A and B are shown apart, each in its own frame.
Chain A
Amino acid sequence: MVHLAHLLMKNYHGGHVAIRLALGGCANRPFFRIVAAHNKRARDGKYLEQVGCYDPLPNSHNEKLVGLNIERIKHWIGCGAHVTKPVEKLLGLSGFFPLHPMTITNAERLRKRRALKAETASEEETPGCSTECDQNYLPTILFFQKISHRTSPL
């Protein structure tokens, strides 16, 4: 018999396994599968194993559902798989990993921005502030407003 399987299978040099989100679903309806796949594969291409799922749209009870096959995730991490940032953040929120530093950083930044907005709003109300002060703050307020449009939990 002629053995051709190994010649037909894709071989990677120096790649690694990654646990990442593969996008699926339809137009205006994303749905992610948490998947263990080779790093060099297409995002939605052939994967080694599906290890969970994540629905980014909230359901009728205002919940976002995440299913995680913890046993298999542990196995792949034990085999040396890398975990991408969104999956790390999800696992941090779930409690399986410690909270991701960017989650905490973004939370702190949001807090600071909101505190600043509240401060400027209260200062604008009080008539004691001079007009020169307002003109100095204006460019910084616009700059922070631009950043605040780009917030997302992950």
Chain B
Amino acid sequence: MAGFGAPRWRFLWRCAASPLALRRPGRALLWSRGYGQDAGSEANKKKSDVTKPCFMDELVQSLLSKMTGLDLQKVFRPIKQELKPPTYKLMTEKQLAEATRKAIEEAKELLKMPPVLSEREPIDDVLAEDRILEGTETIKYVFTDTTYSTPHRERFIVVREPSGVLRKASWEERDRMIQVYFPREGRKLVPPPIFKDENLKTVFREDRHEEVLNLCIAQFEPDSADYIRVHHQTYEDIDKHAKYDLLRSTRHFGGMVWYLVNRKKTDGLLIDMIQRNLIDDATCLINLYHMLHPDCQSAKEVKEEDAYGVDLIKVFMKTESKKVGYIELALQAYQEALASSAAL
């Protein structure tokens, strides 16, 4: 037939790439790769966004992990597993120290923060239009490239519509197809109903925020709309009811702090930290706030005065916070407790 001359593979099967080329290794490697916006190429930008810190910057990560804390009892608390009788070992002091050190390293692995990304852009790329085929079928065909060695982000997944249009699959279709041909543990084809808004409210009432977040990480991609929505709703609920301690010493704490600091809702968290006598964490939080909002008044005052510890909190409290009264009270209580324990 003279109708379809040269082969079309020239302009088909173009790279379906997003800028985040991802290999498919284990979970630890998954997030140690450079995820997120460019942190390096900002020297030539305007002054307003010269040093906008990224979630994955080392400085930011160190501040967040300091605030997360390392409560071994909570990190290694019993999870639902096969019932085995406990094993007891007799160790010397040295061996115990060694075992604790290994436990701390493992805990740090478990506490690696999941990435915080902006929502992904929808894909609408048409590869070919063959209007001749219009009306021949009522059903669309979804073609997936099941080559084992291509990363999932670069995989070709195309859809031939009944109208004859050959287009790239949308993100939801992509996720579904990849789960069909390369099933991942913990991920279901249809997202479980726990992620609907009404059910989330029930779960929050039972204080099971961490479980929901773990399920969310297993089910959705970090840059999908559902992931971001569930995470934001969880953080809002925690902030509303001041349940910060639920996430302390888990891998979700860093993400929550990042969310709150970006939206300048740090007051509740600050009060909670002062009440639990975590002044170092409070200073870390304020430093992070100044890093992200270098133009705010307290940042400028701190630069001039160079305050530390409780003074830093006082400066921040006067300039930036909305719940000045509560923070003052908490600080007073803390200082009285300090004074009385020093007197003892």
Contacts and interface: CB of A to CB of B under 8 A. Distances in A.
B132 A107 contact: yes
A148 B221 CA distance: 46
A69 B12 CA distance: 16
Contact of B141 (A93, A97, A104, A111): A93
Interface in B125-175: 127-128, 130, 132-137, 139-149, 156, 158-160, 166
Contacts of A108: 132
Interface in A39-55: 52
A101 B299 CA distance: 70
A96 B9 contact: yes
A109 B12 CA distance: 27
A107 B12 contact: no
A94 B141 contact: yes
B317 to A, nearest CB: 54
A51 B136 CA distance: 27
A104 B160 contact: no
A74 to B, nearest CB: 10
Of B130, B141, B143, B149, most A-chain CB atoms within 10 Å: B143
Q: Interface range on chain A: under 10, 10 to 19, 20 to 34, or 35 or more?
A: 20 to 34
Interface stretch (A57-65, A120-128, A136-144): A57-65
Contacts of A106: 136
B13 interface: yes
A96 B127 CA distance: 11
Interface string A109-136: 0110010000000000000000000000
B172 to A, nearest CB: 10
Contacts of B146: 52, 67-69
Contacts of A94: 141, 143, 158, 160, 166
A95 B128 contact: yes
B29 interface: no
Contact of B13 (A93, A96, A104): A96
B143 A66 contact: yes
B13 A62 contact: no
A67 B181 contact: yes
A114 B136 CA distance: 11
A153 interface: yes
Contact of B132 (A58, A64, A104): A104
B193 interface: no
B147 A111 contact: no
A63 B3 contact: no
A153 B136 contact: yes
B181 A63 contact: no
B80 interface: no
Contacts of A111: 135
Nearest to B172: A61
Nearest to B150: A71
Given A97-B7, A104-B3, A110-B136, A65 B144 contact: yes
A99 interface: yes
A62 B161 CA distance: 11
A153 B162 CA distance: 11
Nearest to B8: A98
Nearest to B130: A99
B143 to A, nearest CB: 4
Nearest to B180: A65
Given A70-B147, A94-B158, A107-B133, A65 B177 contact: yes
B177 A95 contact: no
A67 B181 CA distance: 8
28 contacts: A58-B139, A62-B139, A63-B139, A63-B159, A64-B140, A64-B142, A65-B180, A66-B141, A66-B143, A67-B144, A69-B146, A70-B13, A90-B141, A93-B141, A93-B160, A94-B143, A95-B9, A95-B13, A95-B128, A95-B158, A95-B160, A95-B166, A96-B12, A96-B13, A97-B9, A103-B133, A103-B136, A107-B133
Given A58-B139, A70-B13, A104-B4, 19 more contacts: A66-B141, A66-B144, A67-B144, A68-B144, A68-B146, A72-B147, A94-B160, A95-B13, A95-B143, A95-B166, A99-B8, A99-B130, A101-B3, A104-B1, A104-B133, A107-B134, A108-B132, A111-B135, A153-B137
